Amino acid sequence: MIVLDGDGLVLYLNRTAQEVTGYAQSGLTGHPFDSIVLPEERDRIPAVLYGVLNQAVPSPFDLRVSTTSGEVLNLSVVASSALAEHGCVVLTFRDVSEARLLEQELGRNRDFLERLINSTVDAIIAADLTGQVILFNQGACRLYGYEPGEVVQSRRVEELYPDGGAAAVMRDLRASPNGR
């Protein structure tokens, strides 16, 4: 937690904030908070201060800061008006750097898999456990003549089979390798 005055100067930081940022109480108190914020994000701080002090508390937001060692952290910040009547803003935060990196990696993997699935000539269709179609690639579009928007989340997979076809496929999938 960090407490700022209305001009964005640091009044107080708790032990956890000191550990996360690497700054000691005496090293940051009296200095502008935005001095540890990455330059491209500094213009966000005055808007947060103004909002909190004028009873318009912003939604939680991510903010990248630099530690004393030069490491860049991505902090999830919540601004509070608990001390607004005294002209102060309380920022509580947690380090979400690793989570944001994982989200980016998952996004890249998802994009790669989507491109791979859509570039294959084979029809690929997936359904959830209730039979609702959740994936319908370009190969399936060519085979069935539907666009993904006409099928995904609006049709059940058994509608794509001839009568009794879906049941036969499920029966075959559940059969043991030796036919028993």
What integer pLDDT is reported at residue 22 of this predicted model? Answer: 93
pLDDT tens digit string along 97-147?
Answer: 999 999 999 999 999 998 999 899 999 999 998 989 999 999 999 999 999
Query: Is the four-CA dihedral 65, 68, 79, 103 of positive or negative sign?
Result: positive
pLDDT for position 140: 94
Q: Cα dist. 180→166, 168, 169, 170 in Å?
A: 19, 15, 15, 14
pLDDT of residue 57: 82
**pLDDT at residue 23, as a whole number:** 94
Is the pLDDT score of 180 beyond 60? no
Task: Tell me the per-residue pLDDT of 72-93, one tens digit each, with 9 for 90 and over.
Answer: 999 999 999 999 999 999 999 9
Look at residue 179 in the predicted model and tell me its pLDDT.
58
User: Judging by DSSP bridges, how do beta strands 61-66 and 72-80 pair with one another?
Assistant: antiparallel
Report how far residue 84's alpha carbon sits from residue 142's, in angstroms, rounded to the nearest whole number: 61
